[in-house]
Structure 1
Amino acid sequence: MLNTILNGLLPVAFVIMLGWLSVRIGLLKHDDASVLATLVIRFALPFALFEGAVKTSPDKLHNAGFALCLTLGLMGTYVIALGVGRFVFRHDLRTATMQALVCAFPDMAYFGAPILAAVFGPEGFLAVLVGNLVTSIFMLPLTIVLTGLGDKNAMGTGQPDVLRVFGQSIARAVINPIVWLPISGMVLSFCHVTLPGPVLTSVDLIAKAAGGTSLFALGLMLYGERFVLNANVLANLGIKNFLQPALMALGAVLFGVVGAPAHQAVITGAVPTATAAAMFALKSDTYTRDATATILVSTILGVVTEGLLIAYFF
């Protein structure tokens, strides 16, 4: 079991350290992280989510209780964290939205997948795939919309036309590749469309860059950043590492999910914050320091919580 945990943690730590060292020895600069963030958010991650969706059998996506359980855990955490950011820490909408994303977006593909596969076998990937569809259909579009609304409000244009601003934000979310590509993959899966091998190989080539590039960029971001453990970071850790798996467990009870699928959902909820959340914060130039600190500590803490959950279930 220790080997299972190390298989999930060591690659993450290794790639982050490479990014940190590249700045330390002068090969790259701290500001270069923004270029890599664009690559991840605009290209690599959307195609990774598309690939996961299009390769998933539609039969596996028909488990409504399991999907609802993951939706409650992911989006329930998002709404709670958004409320904490707005009403407890008094952040503006843009900042509170980034805090919600940091708290609710688990690193399912690059931290959770190796652990779930090692514990549950190929069946373990179902939680990753369904979870990524939930984030693609609900969480990421909502983040883009709220960020857009926050941008308009920050301009200080008096009483903006809320419907117009909301419509523009929705339109921007719809045309964003991180939204429409995964949804397209899901539609193709339900329509039983099999893409030609060369097309899937081409998609896979860029999709594989998502995990390593985002972790490497996180290493760039970490260099020169003073380690912080403030009230925001502590609240984020409590919400992400403890509240989210608890919501997953509640969802399993409410929607009748039992056995291995219930265990998968709880373990998925305990997965640390995704590095992609830091990429969003970097691209929006909002909440970057606290997002980076949360991801760093959440990853370390995630090893402990994942180990305890695996030991409890097995």
Structure 2
Amino acid sequence: MSSLISIVLPVFAVIGLGWLAQRRGWLGDGGAGALNAFVFRIALPPLLFLAMARTPFEAFGQWRFLAAYLSGTAGVWVLVWWLAPRLGFNGFQARWLTCLGATFSNAIYLGIPLFETAFGALSAQPVILIALMMNLLLVGGSLIVLQAVSGEGTRAAIKETLSNPMLFAIGAGLLVSWFDIALGDGADRLLSLLAQAASPVALFALGVTLGVAGSGVRFGRPQWVLLVAKLFVHPALVALACWGFQADAINAQAAILIAAVPAGSLVHVVAARRGTLETESAALILLTTAVSVVTLTLLLEWLL
């Protein structure tokens, strides 16, 4: 258990430092935006690119864990869609955002750093593929669906989804892996240096974002019910699906761990853009992140 605490505690300590810095006002008004922009546009793309480029192309044929993750996520979505009106979330948009909060994991800002810490920096490829799939399907899909339902048109949402730097970085990395292209020493060092900054800055930025979103939130019964769906039901269904699809061990571990990661901050971003459930989504993110300190420690004890 002490070794697991040494894995989990530093990860959440960096998040806590980011939260403290925001609450103390050490970063100024634009700190959260600048940090998130650095992670999303500068540091994260090299991390994703190198993870793909350094993976033998044959490894990308392992689709079973992706199907398992998608199946488990779909099961939670159906369950929460049914539960949402009973929790006071009525209407298509509110129900959709409730499902998004119960199924979208913070894979980029928390899942990748945690998985790298537990399993090694070279093992993050399955996590990255899950993160890409969920960002495209859940976040990109939510923007498109909600704009279409509201009658606002979908062109801008589709353009925003396809211009995601993650998509380009992973695509370029896949091409390098496919054609077995050797990177020059200078380019490799530059990309590696930026990639090393991605995880710690992402964790710190997550703490800052939680500090911004957490002002004045309240935790009610709906948040606790959704917490159970996110931190317990989601990984349980994904684990069952991994067994059913006979996913490889390391890929199954990645899928189960990412399913157990707390709700992602992009849920709050989507809710804010739609002007619906802003406070509720912030409360869910804060609550699941806090409780996951314990649940992820226990899960890692089972996985490792």
> Is the CA contact 1:48–1:207 (under 8 Å) kept in the aligned structure 2?
yes
Partner SS, residue 47 of structure 2 = helix
Matched, 1:306 2:287: no
Number of equivalenced pairs: 298
Shift of 1:108: 1.9
The structural deviation recorded for 1:52 is 1.8
The amino acid across from 1:209 in the alignment is: A
Q: Match of 2:216, SS? A: coil
- Tell me how far apart the structure 2 counterparts of residues 257 and 98 of structure 1 sit (CA, whole Å): 29
Provide the C-alpha distance between the structure 2 equivalents of 1:60 and 1:110, rounded to a whole number of angstroms.
21
TM-score for both structures, normalised by structure 1: 0.75
Instruction: From 159, 165, 168, give the equivalent of 1:171.
Output: 159
1:115 matched to 2:105:
no
Identical residues among aligned pairs (%)? 24
State the distance in 1 between where 2:79 and 2:181 align: 38
Q: Give the structure 2 partner of residue 19 of structure 1.
A: 18
**Alignment partner, residue 212 of structure 1:** 200
Change in Cα spacing, 1:84 to 1:32, as seen in structure 2 (3 Å) is: farther
Classify 1:81/1:5 alpha carbon distance in 2 versus 1 (closer, same or farther; 3 Å): farther
Equivalent in the alignment of 1:55: 54
Compute the TM-score of the two structures, normalised by the length of structure 2: 0.77
Match of 1:8 in 2: 8
Q: How does 1:234-253 map to 2 (within 5 A)?
A: 234-253=224-243
The answer to whether the 8 Å contact 2:217/2:280 transfers is no
Structure 2 residue 43 is the aligned partner of structure 1 residue 44 = yes
Encode CA deviations 1:41-66: one digit per residue, 9 max, x unaligned. 33333333222222222233222323
Where do 5+ consecutive residues of structure 1 fail to align? none
| Correspondences of 1:263-302 after superposition (within 5 Å) | 263-274=253-264, 289-302=279-292
SS of equivalent residue, structure 2 residue 247? coil
- Which residue identity lines up with residue 294 of structure 2 in the other structure? V
Letter in 2 for 1:55: R
Distance in 1 separating the partners of 2:104 and 2:76: 5
Q: Are 1:193 and 2:181 counterparts?
A: yes
Contact 1:141 1:179 in 2 (8 A): no
Task: Name which of structure 1's ranges 224-233 and 106-115 shifts more when overlaid on structure 2.
Answer: 224-233
Residues 139 and 266 in structure 2, CA contact (< 8 A), matched pair in contact too = no
1:77 touches 1:104 (CA, 8 Å); kept in 2? no
Q: Is the 8 A contact 1:16 1:217 kept in 2?
A: yes
Q: Per-residue deviation at 1:81?
A: 5.3
